């Protein structure tokens, strides 16, 4: 069988997304009983109590297909965000929405502009459609270089991804810089703003992309229930976009792309703003404590508007291994001089700090 003749030539050179290590693998390898998974930017607490209760009620009814139009949740989101239901698409995680947008918009030879480093799925989406990734380096402060991104836009550019706050650096762009960028961006370009960590950001400079959505301009906002709402395993995210794009995505997507359990869990999560606030403020406290320990240990880091911190180190391989030996999983980037450390519970932070202290003692400055 000639598999190369069968599989589309564009797929051959693609590299699959590599997820972080799983807790069960690390448990078996390290022999540690407590594994602290700080590698996938998940929330350490479970789904909201109201979501769990709601999800349990639908389990006996899973013989039925989900609501393909996700009506109840759209109604809830419309009320909460003051966005019309006709401007919404729900996805099997916001990751699916990234892929659907690429499928609906990109053709062979188109260009896709995004910052780098940023979310690793953007180049995968471009490559899937035979489009060219145009990676624009972040500034020295690890922030989106919006003027350079604008300069990278050509007649061939179809899509620009902005990740705000950015994964993996946790940084945001400034409001003025964003407004200048938005105004200057040519009309033939679709701007997709990925706001997966929206609920964690607290800076007054943090731009809420929805404030710029008017239903006409080629602008898409993507958010997810995977992060502060703790529904990563259920898979549900949403996009707000102009109606012609909603219609295009409805043609491309699978008819029942969002499962019933996820729809119900997301719907019941919407009412609990107090829990969102509790998680956001605990995340802030843990970050502040972690920064103070980084300062004490002489570790460089990038201040973050998310639930992870980009730690800069000349010894990423050694530090990753030292943390792993203590059952702590962080995200590495091969030999790039950085690690992404997720914010977990206060116990997770204490364990991370203790492991880093031991690493400094053993390895010298990190
Ligand atoms: C920036 C960004 N966008 C999108 C996603 C995808 O999230 P999900 O598909 O779980 O909604 C992630 C997940 O880590 C992310 O970091």
pLDDT tens, position by position, 248-297:
999 999 999 999 999 999 999 999 999 999 999 999 999 999 999 999 99
CB atoms inside a 10 Å sphere around CB 29: 13
pLDDT of residue 173: 98
User: 43, 98, 114, 119: which to mutate for ligand 1, most atoms within 8 A of CB?
Assistant: 119
Specify the pTM.
0.97
Mean pLDDT of the 24-45 span: 91
In sequence order, the β-bridge partners of residue 116 are 137
Which of 312, 316, 315 has the alpha carbon at shortest distance from 291?
Answer: 312
The alpha carbon of 283 is separated from its chain's Cα centroid by a whole number of angstroms, namely 16
Minimal-distance CA residue to ligand 1 atom 15:
196
pLDDT of residue 324: 95
For 331, phi and psi rounded to 5 degrees? -100, 130
| DSSP one-letter code for 109 | T
3-state secondary structure of 278: helix
| DSSP one-letter code for 174 | -
Please state, in angstroms and rounded to a whole number, the distance separating the CA atoms of residues 335 and 321.
13
User: Residue 46 above 90 pLDDT?
Assistant: yes
Which of 330, 343, 148 has the alpha carbon at shortest distance from 366?
Answer: 330
Percentage with pLDDT > 70 across the chain: 100
User: Residue 2 above 90 pLDDT?
Assistant: yes
Q: How far is the CA of 294 from the centre of ligand 1 (A)?
A: 26
Q: How far is the CA of 310 from the centre of ligand 1 (A)?
A: 17
Mean pLDDT of the 132-136 span: 98
Q: How far is the CA of 94 from the centre of ligand 1 (A)?
A: 6
Q: Within 6 Å (CB) of ligand 1, which residues are found?
A: 41, 93-95, 119, 163, 167, 194, 196, 224, 226, 232, 237
Please state, in angstroms and rounded to a whole number, the distance separating the CA atoms of residues 113 and 122.
9
Mean pLDDT of the 223-251 span: 98
pLDDT band (50, 70, 90) for residue 30: confident
The alpha carbon of 137 is separated from its chain's Cα centroid by a whole number of angstroms, namely 19
User: Residue 21 above 90 pLDDT?
Assistant: no
Q: Cβ distance 204 to 78 under 8 Å? A: no
3-state secondary structure of 274: helix
Mean pLDDT of the 75-99 span: 98
- The number of the ligand 1 atom at minimal distance from the alpha carbon of 167 is 1
CB environment 4-16: b (16+ within 10 A), e (fewer): eeeeeeeeeeeee
Percentage with pLDDT > 90 across the chain: 94
Mean pLDDT of the 222-245 span: 98
User: Residue 26 above 90 pLDDT?
Assistant: no
Would you state the structure tokens that stand for residue 51, as one six-digit string? 């979501």
For 133, phi and psi rounded to 5 degrees? -80, 130
Average pLDDT, the chain: 97
The answer to which of 190-204, 213-227, 322-336 has the lowest mean pLDDT is 322-336
pLDDT of residue 23: 86
Residue whose tokens read 């407590």: 34
Mean pLDDT of the 203-224 span: 98
For 239, phi and psi rounded to 5 degrees? -125, 145
At 100-133, the pLDDT tens digits run: 999 999 999 999 999 999 999 999 999 999 999 9
């Amino acid at each position: 069988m000639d598999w190369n003749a069968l599989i589309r030539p564009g797929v051959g050179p693609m590299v699959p997304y590599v997820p972080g290590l799983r807790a069960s693998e690390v448990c078996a390898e390290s022999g540690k009983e407590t594994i602290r998974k700080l590698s996938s930017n998940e929330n350490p607490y479970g789904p909201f109590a109201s979501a769990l209760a709601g999800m349990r009620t639908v389990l006996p009814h899973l013989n039925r297909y989900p609501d393909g139009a996700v009506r109840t949740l759209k109604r809830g989101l419309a009320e909460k965000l003051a966005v019309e239901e006709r401007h919404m698409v729900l996805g099997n995680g916001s990751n699916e929405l990234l892929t659907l947008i690429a499928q609906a918009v990109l053709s062979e030879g188109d260009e896709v502009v995004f910052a780098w480093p940023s979310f690793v799925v953007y180049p995968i989406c471009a490559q899937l459609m035979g489009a060219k990734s145009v990676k624009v380096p972040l500034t020295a402060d690890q922030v989106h270089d919006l003027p350079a991104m604008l300069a990278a836009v050509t007649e061939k550019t179809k899509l620009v991804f902005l990740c705000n706050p950015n994964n993996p650096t946790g940084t945001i762009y400034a409001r003025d810089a964003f407004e200048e960028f938005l105004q200057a961006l040519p009309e033939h370009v679709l701007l997709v703003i990925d706001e997966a960590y929206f609920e964690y950001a607290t800076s007054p400079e943090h731009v809420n992309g929805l404030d710029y959505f008017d239903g006409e301009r080629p602008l898409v906002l993507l958010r997810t229930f995977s992060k502060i709402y703790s529904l990563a395993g259920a898979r549900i995210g949403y996009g707000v976009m102009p109606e012609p794009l909603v219609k295009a995505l409805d043609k491309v997507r699978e008819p029942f792309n969002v499962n019933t359990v996820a729809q119900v869990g997301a719907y019941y999560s919407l009412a609990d703003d107090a829990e969102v606030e509790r998680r956001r403020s605990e995340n802030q406290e843990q970050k502040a404590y972690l920064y103070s320990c980084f300062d004490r240990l002489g570790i460089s880091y990038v201040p973050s508007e998310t639930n992870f911190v980009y730690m800069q180190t000349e010894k990423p391989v050694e530090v990753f291994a030292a943390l792993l030996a203590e059952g702590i999983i962080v995200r590495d980037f091969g030999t790039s001089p950085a690690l992404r450390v997720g914010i977990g519970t206060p116990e997770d932070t204490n364990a991370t700090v203790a492991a880093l202290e031991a690493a400094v003692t053993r390895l010298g400055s990190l």
